[in-house]
Amino acid sequence: MPTIRPYIQDESALAGIPGRRASGDDFGGSGLQLLGHAIGDEPVKAAIAFEEAKSREEVTDAQTKLAEFGARKTLEMDELARTTDLERAKEFSSSFNDRLQPELQKLGDSYETRAGQQAFQRGAGEVSGYFLKQAGLAQAHMMGMKAKQNWLSFENASRNAVLGNPLDYERQKRLMVETLNDPNGLYFGHLTSEERAVMTRTAVENLAESAVRGVIRLGGEGAVLAKKQLVDGTWDPDLNAEAKERMLDLAEVGVDREHTKQERERLMADRLVKDRNDAIEADFTRRILDPRSQGAMPTDEEIAKSDLPGPQQRVLDGFKMQRLRELASLEEDKKHPQEVKRLLTQLIADGDDPEKQYNLDKVKASFIKGTVSTAEYLFLEERFNRLKDGSANTFERDLNSLIGRVDRQIGTSVYFAVNPAAAADAMARIQADAYATAERLRKKNEDPRQMLDPKSSEFFFSQENLSIYMKVPAQALAEGAAAVTAEAEKLSIGTIRNGYKYLGGDPAKKESWAKIQGEAAGKTPNLP
């Protein structure tokens, strides 16, 4: 079969294959008519009719098959255009048409009549022309997509460059514009002028935004500089209003972050200085409180040359003076149970308690005034440190909670209500012994939580154990009847103590007291 010559027209391959009306010559009529005159008309007429019928059948068949072929190949081309790797786009048209021709040739091999062959040749030429044009358009579209894809890679590389080095902005901007609009380049050949104009504007805006981000990321005063540039209009020629607003917000965040960073660095520096000063103060304090084992008590000159802030130096001076007075008077072991109780209660209080203390300032002040001794100060300091560093985890919290509960129970006792000094002494001993028990268990490598467990033999808060500290009236009489009698002698009927009126009789007995209400109860009725 002869090679099919493409015929290009602006009609779909799905339309009917156009062609001229067949003549008698197409069906071989002239030769048969001459033969008919020679041998007679009837047989010849029959042969002519058969030939015409077959020719017409092949012409219609060729038109039908070419229409079906065109529809099938249209779907095939669309699918190939959708799935072909853009890297092979430039080969799409030739590759598709190279596969098309053999299929068309094979399709036309079945036609025997001259009319059928001619109809197929005309239709196949138009189908070839149509697909040559359509494949070319598809290839152009694919090349345009590839160009845009390549451009995105180019643009991203440029944006990353100015993000890392915003000073390179003008050079990167010039390269982008020149590359996109180079008459000899890929983009010029495959993109329309309108497409290139839109892409140029978008690319410059994106590049400017990346450059501003790069300025913000410079660190130090970068965010401050970027904000100033945005406010001054430095970026207005290349940055649209929406992007400018977005960059202003980002710069503000950067400015705040920088200020926060500076503040954090300042606080860190202050903290380091404070930690250094606290360590120096702690060392001096150890030497003051225990000069025998720590060498010698620091001199005034040593303290003055330590570069400690004035308040810390004054605390050390006060510590030193009080410690010297204490040593001179041999009162370093003097007991101050009420003050110790007050200070300890403040240290172990819950966070929502307005009296809660988060440092040792009040304890230090109390020591300087002489209202707690060295031993008591060290005890309070040790409790504070345990709470501060969390070394005991929840145990310390639970222990203090139970001690607080015991303190409240003591407050319900009439004996202790009218004898606050005895109550404070009892609580001081309970606290000291409780903490000593915990330390004893730790030294034995045993869990100190045993002392909080009612089922354990080490349970510290049993009624039996606490009764040793809580001197109920019978015990008080047995252990110190003279003291109770002396107390009774000081009382007269009607005397008010902590919200209770003395009725007469043994002051250690509950029935000797009556709870009163109102103003007569005084300011500190600590019994329920």
The pLDDT tens digits for 306-361 are 888 889 889 989 988 888 888 888 777 788 888 988 998 888 887 677 888 878 88
pLDDT of residue 291: 81
Percent of the chain residues past pLDDT 70, beyond the cut: 76
The verdict on residue 22 lying in a domain is yes
- Residue 353 maps to a domain: no
Structure tokens of 67?
């229409």
In a domain, 419, yes or no: no
The pLDDT-based confidence of 84 (bands split at 50, 70, 90) is: low
291-297 mean pLDDT: 77
- Asked whether the beta carbons of 423 and 411 are under 8 A apart, the reply is yes
Q: What is the pTM (predicted TM-score) of this model? A: 0.39
Q: Give the pLDDT score at 208.
A: 92
From 100, 106, 90, select the one nearest 126 (Cα to Cα).
100
What is the average pLDDT score of the chain?
Answer: 77
Looking at per-residue pLDDT, the higher value among 448 and 228 belongs to 228
The verdict on residue 398 lying in a domain is no
What are the beta bridge partners of residue 501?
496, 514
pLDDT band at 235 (very low <50, low <70, confident <90, very high): very high
Q: What is the pLDDT of residue 210?
A: 92
Strands 496-497 and 500-502: antiparallel
pLDDT top residue among 74 and 393: 74
The residue-averaged pLDDT of 459-467 equals 86
More confident of the two residues 510 and 108: 108
Residue 145 domain boundaries? 1-190
Beta bridge partners of 498: none
- Residue 525 identity (one-letter amino acid): P
Query: Is 111 a domain residue?
Result: yes
User: Which residue type does 129 have?
Assistant: G
Say which residue, 127 or 228, is predicted with more confidence: 228
Arithmetic mean of pLDDT, 496-509: 73
Is the pLDDT assigned to residue 148 strictly greater than 80? Answer: no
Cβ contact 287:323 at 8 Å: no
Number of domains comprising the chain: 1
396 falls within a domain: no
Higher pLDDT, 347 or 389: 347
Summarize pLDDT for 119-147 with one digit per residue, the tens: 888 888 888 788 777 776 766 666 666 66
Q: Does 381 fall in a domain?
A: no
Residues 6+ apart with CB under 8 A from 293: none
Residue 37 domain-assigned (yes or no): yes
Neighbours of 336 (CB within 10 A): 17
Going by pLDDT thresholds of 50, 70 and 90, the confidence category of residue 236 is very high
Residue 85 binned pLDDT confidence (cut-offs 50, 70, 90): low
Band of pLDDT at residue 231, cut at 50, 70 and 90: very high
pLDDT of residue 27: 46
What CA–CA distance (Å, rounded) separates 34 from 41?
10
pLDDT tens figures, 175-191: 888 888 888 877 777 77
